[in-house]
Amino acid sequence: MKIVVLAGGTSPERDVSLSSGSKIYYALKARGHQVILLDVYLGLDTDVPVTEALFEACVDWAKDIQAVSESHPDLSRLKEQRKDGGRSMFGPNVLTLCEMADIVFLGLHGANGEDGRIQAAFDLMGIRYTGTGYLSSALAMDKSLSKQLFAAAGIPTPKGISLKNGQSADSASLSYPCMVKTVCGGSSVGTYRVDRPEDLADVLADAYTFGEDVIVEQFITGREFSVGVIDGKALPVIEIAPLQGFYDYKNKYQPGSTIETCPAELSDELTRQLQGYAEQVFEALKLTSYARIDFMMDSADQSFYCLEANTLPGMTPTSLLPQEAAAIGMTFEDLCEELIEVSLARYERT
């Protein structure tokens, strides 16, 4: 197949996306597909006519991709790399090449990639892509809306309040520690643990730099888990145990920062319960194709709480979904093929 892998973009998760995209690119190349890796924002700026021959060109499209750094990237200079000033999310020739492809593998993360906007544009243009549709992407991306849907479906989720930029919380009415999260962030960018009431105002001010909406959420003391779901069926549970702090951006993407155990050391009963919740979340958010669902388990009573759903989960060397797939004997190349197949099946059903 002719496949475009889209990565990069303009979210704080840009570097993570590029790392995911490069790994996907090499896996699909190894399977004999004709693959092009593109930065959705920078595109392919060339004076040479763009034709389908590019899919057959002897080019390593991922050779300049670097490892994910300890901190999220500085995006302020990104627009300077676009000759047109970056008026559109789609860089030069991106849409042209995506229209030529049999399918676009979305290796994007975060805003302007995982929030349904690109999915909606592709739907209007008749471009096939991996992952769920535009509406379910948007619902899952908005932590405030998704928590409401979890509650309506009877899926436990930490108690929380939603705030808009300019609003302040009554710090005295909250229990500490608590978590502050930008509503539409990912990779734990814009996520903070607040231990003291006097720190809340400064943390909120920083969180608002990532978006206009935040949630202040009950802190759950216990173990953290994630469950991948492919075509509605849960994969083995993986446990995430950071060596220091919580599962933040650094601990997610720096090798050796976190101990990950898959299958997680849980009883059969708790494993089935957690996988059941993951499949319920998949259904409640009207997800299709695949996703990864994150949970906490309260150490006091072993109750599970759903944190969020990731509709385009990471595919980096340290990412969770590939580890879960490996636990059932699926190689990374197998996983990439499977995600394409379940995504194409969505088009066959419509």
* Single-letter code of the amino acid located at 306: C
Residue 141 lies in a domain: no
Tokens of 270: 């708790």
Residues 112, 163: one domain?
no
pLDDT at residue 172 in the model:
58
For the segment 96-132, what is each residue's pLDDT rounded down to a tens digit?
999 999 999 999 998 889 999 999 999 999 999 999 9
Structurally, how many domains does the chain consist of? 3
pLDDT at 347: 92
Q: Are 166 and 256 found together in one domain?
A: no
Indicate whether 139 belongs to any domain: no
Kindly state the helix (H) or strand (E) to which residue 73 belongs, with its residue range. none
Inside any domain, residue 235: yes
CATH of residue 177: 3.30.1490.20
Q: Which of 228, 314, 319, 324 is catalytic?
A: 314
Distance of CA 180 to the CA centre of its chain: 19
Average pLDDT over residues 218-239: 97
Name the more confident of 174 and 97.
97
| Domain shared by 201 and 294, yes or no | no
Q: Is residue 144 part of a domain?
A: no
CA 84 vs. chain centroid, Å, equals 28
Same domain, 238 and 207: no
Alpha carbon 250 to chain centroid distance?
15
pLDDT confidence bin for 287, thresholds 50/70/90? very high
Helices (H) then strands (E): counts for the chain: 10, 12
Split at pLDDT 50, 70, 90, the class of 70 is low
The answer to whether 115 is a known catalytic residue is no
Would the pLDDT of 187 be above 60?
no
Instruction: Judge if 335 and 241 occupy the same domain.
Output: yes
Active site residue 176: no
Q: Is the pLDDT of residue 53 over 70?
A: yes
- Indicate whether 153 belongs to any domain: no
For residue 170, is pLDDT > 80? no
Q: Which of 8, 9, 11, 13 is catalytic?
A: 13
Which amino acid, residue 304? Answer: F
Is the pLDDT assigned to residue 171 strictly greater than 70? Answer: no
Tell me, what CATH number does 124's domain have? 3.40.50.20
236 and 298: one domain?
yes
Residue with tokens 């809340």: 200
Report pLDDT for 76: 73
Distance, CA of 24 to CA of 37 (rounded, Å) = 9
Ramachandran angles phi, psi of 226, nearest 5°: -140, 150
Residue 25: name the closest of 320, 316, 258 by CA.
Answer: 316
* Enclosing domain of residue 341: 221-348
Told to judge if 333 belongs to the known catalytic residues of this protein, a careful annotator would answer no
